[in-house]
């Protein structure tokens, strides 16, 4: 039996950002439940979750593929700039991941398949072009994250009930992406990537991130006020999500070092997972 050494596999796991894979798959699975999936639909739910995780993981790979020169400055220990994975191997890995994700859509409703194809195409175009455009790239990432919830609804035939989680995902991810651009500003300047903080400065970027994250806090009231989600949701979302967002914003304005911005970006990623728990329990 052929055994592949762990040290050969680890860089590829790092490339797909395993935590992002899990969060994406979990987001779709939860969105299926929120859309009214039954136990009889477990196969569709799993297929959609793994498909989204694979396509999203492929997005991480192709993003690193196009960001190689920037990452040589900002993230030299990543698999591509460190030499652990070649560009050609990364491109092949992206093709395998994306193709596998799209293949799983053969077992899902056609609407889900159309969304998956569109998402894979947008991810590629974003990584190659849109990421280096002020704000529009951030909005694209937010829209793709929101689309994961719409995709989950489509997989079980009920898009309408996935709209509110999609709104949350859009707002918090746009805020997070702006903070990530602030973190990467040095490498972006050296590689002529005109992101929002590069063009308008760190202070305005922080202000814009603040607007989006405050919008998240404000929007959490809507589904509780209209009785879409119950008291358990309201308790968890305020303690586990909104309180954390306030702490993140305070830290953002106090310390804009690269290390702290990276920490805040990571906190926001896991805060999204807490939001999913709140929605599920609510």
Which residues of the chain are under the pLDDT cut of 50? 1-2
- Pick from 116, 110, 123: nearest CA to 151: 116
Residues 6+ apart with CB under 8 A from 22: 53
- Spatial distance between the Cα atoms of 181 and 19, rounded to a whole number of angstroms: 20
For residues 87, 192, 14, 19, the Cα torsion angle rounded to the nearest 10 degrees is -140
pLDDT of residue 247: 96
pLDDT of residue 1: 46
What pLDDT score was predicted for residue 6? Answer: 62
pLDDT tens, residue by residue, 259-272: 999 999 999 988 88
Predicted TM-score of the model (pTM): 0.81
CATH number at 101 reads 1.10.357.140
Domain around 268: 9-281
* Cβ contact 51:101 at 8 Å: yes
The number of domains in the chain is 1
Which residues, at least 6 apart from 100, have a Cβ–Cβ distance to it below 8 Å?
Answer: 54
In a domain, 3, yes or no: no
Residue 1 within any structural domain of the chain? no
Quick check: is 174 in a domain?
Answer: yes
Query: What are the pLDDT digits (tens) for 129-140?
Result: 887 778 888 999
pLDDT for the residue 125: 92
Residue 4 belongs to a domain:
no
Residue with tokens 């949701």: 233
In a domain, 128, yes or no: yes
């Amino acid at each position: 039996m052929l055994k592949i050494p762990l040290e050969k596999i680890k860089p590829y796991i790092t490339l797909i950002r395993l935590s992002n894979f899990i969060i994406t798959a979990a987001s779709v699975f939860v969105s299926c439940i929120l859309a009214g999936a039954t136990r009889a639909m477990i196969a569709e739910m799993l297929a959609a979750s793994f498909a989204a995780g694979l396509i999203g993981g492929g997005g991480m790979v192709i993003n690193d593929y196009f960001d190689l020169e920037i990452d040589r400055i900002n993230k030299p220990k990543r698999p591509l700039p460190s030499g652990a994975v070649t560009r050609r191997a990364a491109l092949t890995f992206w093709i395998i991941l994306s193709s596998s994700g799209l293949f799983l859509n053969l077992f899902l409703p056609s609407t889900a398949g159309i969304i998956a194809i569109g998402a894979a195409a947008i991810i590629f175009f974003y990584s190659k072009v849109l990421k280096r455009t002020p704000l529009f790239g951030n909005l694209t990432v937010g829209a793709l994250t929101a689309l994961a919830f719409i995709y989950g609804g489509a997989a079980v035939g009920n898009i309408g009930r996935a709209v509110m989680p999609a709104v949350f995902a859009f707002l918090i991810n746009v805020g997070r992406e702006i903070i990530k651009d602030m973190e990467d500003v040095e490498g972006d300047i050296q590689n002529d990537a005109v992101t929002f903080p590069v063009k308008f400065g760190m202070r305005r970027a922080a202000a814009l991130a603040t607007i989006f994250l405050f919008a998240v806090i404000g929007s959490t009231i809507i589904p509780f006020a209209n009785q879409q989600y119950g008291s358990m949701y309201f308790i968890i979302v305020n303690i586990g999500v909104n309180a954390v967002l306030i702490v993140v914003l305070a830290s953002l304005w106090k310390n804009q070092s690269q290390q702290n911005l990276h920490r805040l970006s990571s906190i926001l990623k896991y805060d999204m997972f807490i939001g999913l728990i709140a929605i599920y329990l609510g």
